[in-house]
Amino acid sequence: MIITSVFKKFDYPFLLSAFFYRILKTIFIKAGQGRRVIRKIIVQQIYFTAVEVLLLLGIIGVIFGALVIIQILAQLSRVGISEALGQFLVVIVIRELGPLIAAVIVILYSGTAMATEVGYMTVLGDIRAITMRGIDPIHFVAVPRLIGTTIAMVCLLIYFDVVALLGGFIVSWLLTGIPFYTFIMGVAASIGASDIIIGFIKAIFFAAIIVVICLYRGFQVGGEITRLPRAISKSAMDCFLGLLIIDLIISGIFYL
Partner 1 sequence: MMKNILECRGIGYKIGKDVFLEDINFTLSPGQRVVLFSESHQAASSLLQICGTLIRPTKGTLLIEGVEVNYNDQEESLNLKRRLAFVDKKSTLIQNLSVLENIALASIYHENRSLEEIQIRLDLIIEMFSLKEILHLRPADVDPAGKSRVLYAIEAVKEPVLVIFDRPENDFHENDRYYLFNILHKLKEDRNCGFIIYTRSRSLIEKWAEEIIVLKDSLITQQVDKDSFLLSRKQTL
Which residues here bind partner 1, judged by CB under 8 A?
Answer: 32-37, 117, 120-121, 124-126, 128-136, 140
Classify 208 as helix, strand or coil: helix
Nearer to partner 1, 134 or 252 (CB): 134
Taking the complex as a whole, how short is the minimal distance between the CB of residue 34 and partner 1, in angstroms?
A: 4
Cα-Cα end-to-end distance for the chain: 42
Nearest Cα to 89, choosing from 154, 179, 168?
168
Report the distance separating Cα 251 and Cα 256, nearest Å.
Answer: 7
Nearest Cα to 106, choosing from 63, 145, 147, 49?
49
Taking the complex as a whole, how short is the minimal distance between the CB of residue 19 and partner 1, in angstroms?
A: 14
Nearer to partner 1, 130 or 155 (CB): 130
Helix (H) or strand (E) run with residue 37 in it: helix 35-49
Nearer to partner 1, 93 or 211 (CB): 211
Nearer to partner 1, 69 or 146 (CB): 146
CA 236 to the chain's CA centroid: 12
Nearer to partner 1, 25 or 230 (CB): 25
Report the distance separating Cα 33 and Cα 71, nearest Å.
Answer: 52
Nearest Cα to 176, choosing from 248, 70, 40, 22?
70
Taking the complex as a whole, how short is the minimal distance between the CB of residue 30 and partner 1, in angstroms?
A: 9
Taking the complex as a whole, how short is the minimal distance between the CB of residue 117 and partner 1, in angstroms?
A: 8
Taking the complex as a whole, how short is the minimal distance between the CB of residue 5 and partner 1, in angstroms?
A: 22
Nearer to partner 1, 121 or 213 (CB): 121
Contact 57, 159 (CB under 8 A): yes
Nearer to partner 1, 123 or 178 (CB): 123
CA angle 233, 54, 61 (to 5 degrees): 85
Contact 69, 176 (CB under 8 A): no
Taking the complex as a whole, how short is the minimal distance between the CB of residue 172 and partner 1, in angstroms?
A: 46
What secondary structure, in 3-state letters, does 43-69 show? HHHHHHHCHHHHHHHHHHHHHHHHHHH
